[in-house]
Chains A and B, each alone.
Chain A
Amino acid sequence: MIEVKELTKVFGMGAATVEALRGVTVSIPDGDFMAIMGPSGSGKSTFLSVLGCLERPTEGEYYLDGRDVNSLEDDELADMRNQRFGFVFQSFNLLPRHDILRNVEMPLIYAGVSPAERRRRAEKLLTQVGLGERLKHKPSELSGGEQQRVAIARALANDPLVIFADEPTGNLDTKSSIEIMEIFQKLHQDARTIVLVTHEPEIARYAGRVLYFRDGEIVKEEANDELRRPDPDCLG
């Protein structure tokens, strides 16, 4: 359960400050699939960063399962990102110098998992996303969709409860986008919480709930019951 109250985030100092978030209050129950939409500069990515503990809010409260996140030390936040969260980015952010097996192993290395165990887990995850035959390939040898699947496998390495995805289909073609969203749907069915930032309505349809951001505030929230079954034609 994620609960934030009156979150604000101010960038810069003195006269040149930008208010990226101006008091955001929302709670995300476990197992929720939430999409965040809004024009660029609306603060949706900043919101995701704060939720993912990649950035501390300027003001406001943040509770994760009742625990006060703002009071945690940097290293405790690092452990939280490692154990509880998984991240998927628009530009994949794979390590170009390592093969994909190593990429998926990275969070496990920081978690202190033994080499044999983490290899087993990474192989299993990559097999699940259909890349079991290409463990030794470098990211540059894969297509965009495949790279994003590696990134998802990596996000799942420590079996986190929450997946944060920032425009995960932004760099992908339609076919790959559908594949990726189907994976997210499956993760949602596995009772994981998913928070996804997008500006494509077709992608937001997969979510059960959509928050609309504008100028650092939530301007609209709608449940998505009728849209939960996406019409593939809309994507085409």
Chain B
Amino acid sequence: MNFADLIRIVWDNLKAHRMRAVLTTLGIAIGIAGVIAVVAIGQGGEAAIMSELESMGSNRYFEIGPNYMKNETADSKTFNLQDHVLIKELSPAVEKMAPITLGPMVDLRLPNSKEKPMMATLYGTTPDLLAGLNGSTEQGRFLTDADVTAHSRVAVIDAGIAEKYFPEEGALGKKIFVQDTPLTVVGVMEKSPSSMMQALSSRIVYAPITVAQEMLNTKVISQLCGVAVSEEALPQATSDSLKILEKRHPGVSYMGSTMEEQLDMVNNVTSVLTLIIGAVAGIALLVGGVGVMNIMLVAVSERTREIGLLKALGARRRDIMQQFLGEAVALCLLGGLIGMAFGIGGAFIIALAANWPPLVSVWTVLLALGFSAVVGVFFGLYPASRAASLSPAEALRSL
């Protein structure tokens, strides 16, 4: 039996039970759609987070914070305003270092504005932070040492805030209220390279750390952000910083992390998540496969007489096997194609809503289709071999 004949016979047989074929197909379709959508969403999300992290710092960037693995949290004794200066002086591996006092949710508004304040993140820091960020100011300047020592009420805002509040006239020299403290805008950061990341990242205001500590009424420095002299010096820079800090603050436990480690961590988390959800979708596919097997067994027992006839007409074992396997695989592939359409559609819709790239890789699609064919072969094999092993006379006698 050649391939075209096989296809035609399989198609005629499936057409005879349209409703049954569609319902059986549905199980596979749901499974495949799930797998494709989950993988695409996972990869898209991962790409979004990665590119944001990458845009945040260079490959020489590292952070020192309290060791959260030992349940350590930042308080007013964890870091002080001299730590970063000393580390820079003592370690030749450290080129830049900036402390950060974080105001995670501050109100932002224009003077005399009745509008609802905007939620923003306040970074109280020093000029060195700019080297750690993967960007520069688009207008004006970044913070200076003078700003820090003089407690100047100035701010550098990111492009998103500037666009929102000063769409035409330019932001430099304008006042904005951060937690009801007026700050003069002296600089605007350039736009993040990927516009998709822009929407994901929160709005950020940079202010001199001294001013931020007054505004937030805190002495807590949550972390130090450093830049090593070279990528090779990164481990040295991190360990030097840790040593110096542990000497200066006995009893406090610190940990350093580099961009690479953070990327790895995010990678791990997202791939584990993708794996788990993917496994659930895979189980749906498996259930679909059992549905196919069930329907094929029904088909074999319904068509026993027909199988006997085909054998009487000269069908070999292989011909019968091919026909029933072909039906199972066709059901699964059909489901795979439908599932593919829905999976890709779903991935695009979610990517659109979440504002990250819709990453449907050709490999995912081919893998999913290939897998649905394998499901067809696997779950079709038993019914098909049952059909093929029937004795022709016995099959013909059955009703």
> B residues within 8 A CB of A87?
312-313
Check if A121 is an interface residue, CB within 8 A of chain B: no
Main secondary structure on A side of the interface with B: helix
A97 and B12 within 8 A (CB): yes
A95 and B312 within 8 A (CB): no
Of the listed residues B15, B305, B316, the one surrounded by the most CB atoms of chain A closer than 10 A to its CB is: B316
A75 and B316 within 8 A (CB): yes
Q: Tell me which of B306, B314, B391 contacts A81 (CB under 8 A).
A: B314
> A residues within 8 A CB of B308?
54
Q: Tell me which of B16, B315, B394 contacts A97 (CB under 8 A).
A: B16
How many chain B residues touch A (CB < 8 A): the figure is 27
Closest to A76 in B: B316
Q: How far is the CB of B387 from chain A (nearest CB, A)?
A: 14
Whether A78 touches B316, Cβ cut-off 8 Å, given contacts A93-B305, A109-B1, is yes
> A residues within 8 A CB of B4?
115
Closest to A9 in B: B393
Q: Tell me which of B2, B16, B311, B316 contacts A54 (CB under 8 A).
A: B311
Within 8 A of A (CB), among B314-355: 314-319
> A residues within 8 A CB of B1?
109-110, 112
A81 and B396 within 8 A (CB): no
Bound-complex Cα distance A82 to B316 (A): 9
> B residues within 8 A CB of A74?
316-317
Within 8 A of B (CB), among A123-168: 154, 158
Q: Tell me which of B5, B12, B317, B394 contacts A78 (CB under 8 A).
A: B317
- 0 or 1 for each of A65-81: is its CB under 8 Å from B? (1 = yes): 00000000011001101
B306 and A95 within 8 A (CB): yes
Of the listed residues B310, B314, B317, B393, the one surrounded by the most CB atoms of chain A closer than 10 A to its CB is: B314
Bound-complex Cα distance A54 to B391 (A): 7
- How many A residues are at the interface, by size bracket? 20 to 34
Check if A106 is an interface residue, CB within 8 A of chain B: yes
Bound-complex Cα distance A90 to B306 (A): 14
Of the listed residues A52, A83, A89, A109, the one surrounded by the most CB atoms of chain B closer than 10 A to its CB is: A109
Q: How far is the CB of A91 from chain B (nearest CB, A)?
A: 9
A93 and B392 within 8 A (CB): no
B309 and A107 within 8 A (CB): no
Q: How far is the CB of B300 from chain A (nearest CB, A)?
A: 16
Interface residues of A (CB under 8 A from B): 46, 49, 52, 54-55, 74-75, 78-79, 81-83, 87, 89, 93, 95-98, 106-107, 109-112, 115, 154, 158
A-B contact pairs, 19 of them (CB 8 A): A52-B312, A55-B391, A55-B392, A55-B393, A75-B316, A78-B316, A79-B314, A81-B314, A82-B314, A83-B314, A93-B306, A95-B306, A106-B310, A107-B313, A110-B315, A110-B319, A111-B314, A112-B2, A154-B313
Interface residues of B (CB under 8 A from A): 1-2, 4-5, 12-13, 15-16, 305-306, 308-319, 391-394, 396
